[in-house]
Amino acid sequence: MTGDVAVLGAGMHPWGKWGRGFVAYGRVAARAALADAGIGWPEVGSVVGAQTVRGGYPGYVAGATFARALGWQGARVTSVYAACASGAQAIDTARAQILAGMADVVLVVGADAAPKGFFAPAGGERPDDPDWLRFRVLGATNPAYFGLYARRRMALYGDTPEDFALVKVKNAAAGALNAYARYRKPVTAEEVAASAMVADPLRLLDICATSDGAAALVLCGMEFARRRGVADPVRIRAVSTVTPTFPRTVLDLPDIGTDSAVAVEPSPESFRASLARAAYEEAGAGPEDLSLAEVYDLSTALELEWYEDIGLCGPGEGAGLVRAGTTALGGRIPVNASGGLASFGEAVPAQAIAQVCELTQQLRGRAGDRQVPGARVGITANQGLFGHGSAVIAVR
Amino acid sequence: MAGWFTGDGPGEEFRLLGTRCSGCRTVHFPREDGHCRNPGCPGGELEEVPLSRRGTVWSCTDGRYRPPPPYVSDPGAPWVPYTLVAVELAAERMVVLGQAAPGVGVADLPVGSAVEVVPGVLDEDAGANTVHTTWNWRPVAAEAGPEEPGTVPAAEGAVS
Ligand SMILES: [Zn+2]
């Protein structure tokens, strides 16, 4: 396929709370990806940095910051901000450059040192920023929105807090097998139920933490990979970065009100579902082709919603899949084999890249104890503030 | 939050204020004064309009931990959880988030139940002796129903 780009290398910095700056983490991940690819940094023609705004000024200029940390060598440079989808848009930018012939080899890096506790908007008095407003006027934290979605599922579909806990139990079991995960201990349903309530019905162990972390990829054209003797690389076949469509009727971070559906009938397809559909269309694949999926389990309940949005089951059927073990390691379609954000925590610009790192190791058959047997096709899905979101499909 | 609600004076009816596009009737809340968000809109003026006083619960949750600034709360005082409720307004076909009135918890707000908007306190500045008003949602007695007829989008031009 002419639209494919090859994943030559993948690398990460272990996630946790390490007390260092994001540049240090990003450098480690970049070096690991370059070593994995067998590529010298001076050979890289372009570097794309996924950035965080919340992390402060250096985060605004991530591409050049990472390039400097690796040593200036004159590469093309790009910095990309798309909230929690920054990493995927960085991958998309790299892919576009390769397919356009602007670079043979592109290094994609995302890294963050996240503050402890709730994410909060940048400082100052900024009433023109919806993210600032939702905190100032309502105290509406990210978990508050996750709580709204979870309760809505309980009312509509009969999901229970016990169903939500099963997601955490499943992801913690997978994360325990991943050396890069922050949390590497199995968790029981009882432990979830005993953890503090944060945003009813979601408890502390239903919601992902904030973390430090970094992930990087070395991408290149198929011809370049062949010249390097890599005849059968993991290939990125689709990167979807579509916007929502008007009217958007599901309340989403950081909004206080939805669009009104008075003038235009809303699409029956959710924004999240449209992200996956656009990727499937681009890849010429469908949910039935998947070996595994990595989705943003910002909360346990949200992971169940993703099952439906990426087409693993119909609306309201998500809890049935986790109850049946379908999405666990060993199940028909493992979701978050990496351990997910439940095991990693959020390192905003890195996490969408980390998802593709996991697909890469799985499709190479190098995922160790959490290997999905015979993995051939994987999808990632993520969503960030302000109508950003993306899905990546990788194949082997 | 200037222009987000009206009627916090004595004798007035408290209402949220949005803006409505004269070209396609789309309502925006919080108020959108720059441009209509409907991509197919033929173009129109954005006019202030009061929102429905009543709606139904889309979902609700609460905040058991103190949110970070810019939310205003006294770090010296014990944290009192608040309830957040997303309310579906039938006439506007939209969902508006707000805090529930003090003392109203998630158990009082089953999905689909009727609520109404009332004035509430956002924060108090003891030094300047000022109280910042906000909107709260509170349950409506079951017999009152979700929507009184003829509230919105009745008022043309409306309250200002
Ligand atoms: Zn309009």
- For A318-340, give the DSSP string: HHHHHHHTTTSTTSSS-B-TT-H
Per-residue confidence at B12, pLDDT binned at 50, 70, 90?
A: confident
Q: How far is A202 from chain B, CA to nearest CA, in Å? A: 9
Are B68 and A150 within 8 A, CB to CB? no
pLDDT at B144: 53
Cβ contact, residue pair B62, A132, below 8 Å: no
Find residues 222-261 of chain A whose CB sits inside 8 Å of chain B: 246-247, 249-251, 255-261
Tokens of B129: 């002796």
Q: Tell me the average pLDDT across A336-354.
A: 97
pLDDT of residue B153: 39
Residue A262 carries which DSSP code? S
Q: Is A199 on the interface with B (CB under 8 A)?
A: yes
pLDDT of residue B143: 56
Q: What is the Cα A156 distance to its own chain's centre?
A: 27
pLDDT at B131 over 70: yes
**pLDDT exceeds cutoff 50 at B22:** yes
pLDDT number for residue B10 = 73
A236 touches A356 (CB < 8 A): yes
Q: How many CB atoms lie within 10 A of CB B129?
A: 7
Phi/psi at A189 (5° precision) = -60, -35
SS3 state at A165? helix
Cβ neighbours of B68 in A, within 8 Å: 117-118, 120, 135, 141
CB B62 within 8 A of CB B106: yes
pLDDT surpassing 70 at residue A129 = yes
* Residue A27 alpha carbon to ligand 1 centre in Å: 48
Whole-angstrom Cα distance, residue A321 to residue A331? 10
Chain A residues with CB inside 8 Å of B99's CB? 138-139
From the list A125, A151, A246, the residue facing B39 with the nearest CB is A246
- Check: CB of residue A174 under 8 Å from CB of residue A322: no
Closest CA to B154 of B7, B8, B27, B23: B27
User: Are A263 and B54 in contact, with CB atoms under 8 Å apart?
Assistant: no
Per-residue pLDDT at B145 exceeds 60: no
Nearest chain B CA: its distance from A85 CA (Å): 23
CB-CB: which of B29, B65, B71 is closest to A198?
B65
Q: Is the Cβ pair A138, B110 closer than 8 Å?
A: no
Q: Do A140 and B97 touch (CB under 8 A)?
A: yes
Q: Do A259 and B26 meet the contact criterion of CB atoms below 8 Å apart?
A: yes
Q: What is the rounded CA–CA span in Å between residue B99 and residue B117?
A: 10
Task: Identify whether the C-beta of residue A71 lies closer than 8 Å to the C-beta of residue A41.
Answer: yes
Task: Output Rg (C-alpha) for chain A, integer angstroms.
Answer: 20
**What mean pLDDT value characterizes chain A?**
96
Number of helical (H) and strand (E) elements in chain B, helices listed first: 0, 9
Predicted pLDDT of residue A61: 86
Query: Which stretches within A246-317 are classed as H helix?
Result: 271-283, 300-309
* Span A5-28, pLDDT tens digits: 999 999 999 999 999 999 999 999
Distance CA A299, CA B136 (A): 27
Label residue A58 by pLDDT band (50, 70, 90).
low
CB atoms within 10 A of CB A235: 20
Torsion on CA atoms A275, A276, A282, A285, rounded to nearest 10:
-170
CA atoms of A32 and A37, how far apart (whole Å): 9
pLDDT band, very low/low/confident/very high, at B87 (cuts 50, 70, 90): very high
Q: Nearest chain A residue to B122 by CA: give it.
A: A137
Give φ, ψ of A101 to 5 degrees. Answer: 80, 15
β-partners of residue A335 are: A293
Q: Is residue A318 a contact partner of residue A307, using CB atoms and an 8 Å limit?
A: yes
- Ligand 1 centroid to residue B19 C-alpha, Å: 10
Joined tokens for residue B127: 């030094």
B8 CB-contact burial (10 Å; exposed 0-12 / middle 13-18 / buried 19+): middle
A residues 92-121 closer than 8 Å to B (CB) = 117-118, 120-121
Where are the strands (E) in B12-129, listed by range? 15-21, 27-28, 46-50, 54-63, 82-89, 94-100, 114-125
* Chain B residues in contact with A118 (beta carbon < 8 A): 65, 67-68
Q: Do A198 and B86 touch (CB under 8 A)?
A: no
> CA torsion B26→A249→B151→B7, rounded to 10°?
-90
Check whether A1 has a pLDDT greater than 50: no
Using a CB-CB distance cutoff of 8 angstroms, which residues of chain A are in contact with residue B86? 148, 251
Nearest Cα residue in chain A from B23: A263
Cα separations in angstroms, A228 against A38, A108, B156: 9, 19, 69
> Residue B8's pLDDT is what?
66
Chain A nearest-CA distance from B65, in A, is 6
The band of A59, judged by pLDDT with boundaries at 50, 70 and 90, is: confident
- Of A181-190, A274-283, B127-136, which range is least confident? B127-136
A151 interface with B at CB cutoff 8 Å = yes
Taking residues A216-237, what's their average pLDDT? 97
User: What one-character DSSP code corresponds to residue A84?
Assistant: B
* Min Cα–Cα distance to chain B from A80, Å: 25
CA distance A58 to A126: 21
* Residue A131 alpha carbon to ligand 1 centre in Å: 24
CA–CA gap between residue B36 and residue B18 (Å, rounded): 12
Look at residue B160 and tell me whether its pLDDT is greater than 90. no
Q: What is the DSSP letter of A137?
A: I
Chain A closest-CA separation from residue B155 CA (Å): 16
Neighbouring residues of A356: CB distance < 8 A, sequence distance ≥ 6: A7, A10, A87, A88, A91, A215, A217, A236, A380, A392, A394
B69 vs A contacts (CB less than 8 Å): 120, 135
Residues 6 or more apart whose CB falls under 8 angstroms from that of A10 comprise A32, A33, A36, A215, A216, A217, A218, A356, A357, A360, A361
Average pLDDT on A294-309 reads 98
Binding-face residues of A in 16-45 toward B, CB within 8 A? none
CA distances from B23 to A247, B37, B44, B46, B155 (A): 16, 11, 4, 9, 16
Residue B159 has pLDDT above 70, yes or no: no
Taking the centre of ligand 1 as the mean of its atom positions, its distance from the CA of residue A246, in whole angstroms, is 11
Query: Across the interface, do A263 and B24 touch by the CB < 8 Å criterion?
Result: yes
Q: How far, in whole angstroms, is CA B112 from its chain's centroid? A: 17
Beginning with the edge strand found earlier in the chain, give each strand of the sheet holding A46-50 in spatial order: A76-80, A46-50, A105-113, A212-221, A5-16, A234-240, A388-395, A377-384, A292-295
Q: Which of A132, A200, A260 lies at the smallest CB-CB distance from B26?
A: A260
**In this structure, are strands B82-89 and B54-63 parallel, antiparallel, or unpaired?**
antiparallel
Residues in CB range of A354: below 8 A, 6 or more apart: A12, A87, A110, A180, A213, A215, A338, A344, A347
Task: Determine the Cα–Cα distance for residues A22 and A26; give it in Å rounded to an integer.
Answer: 6
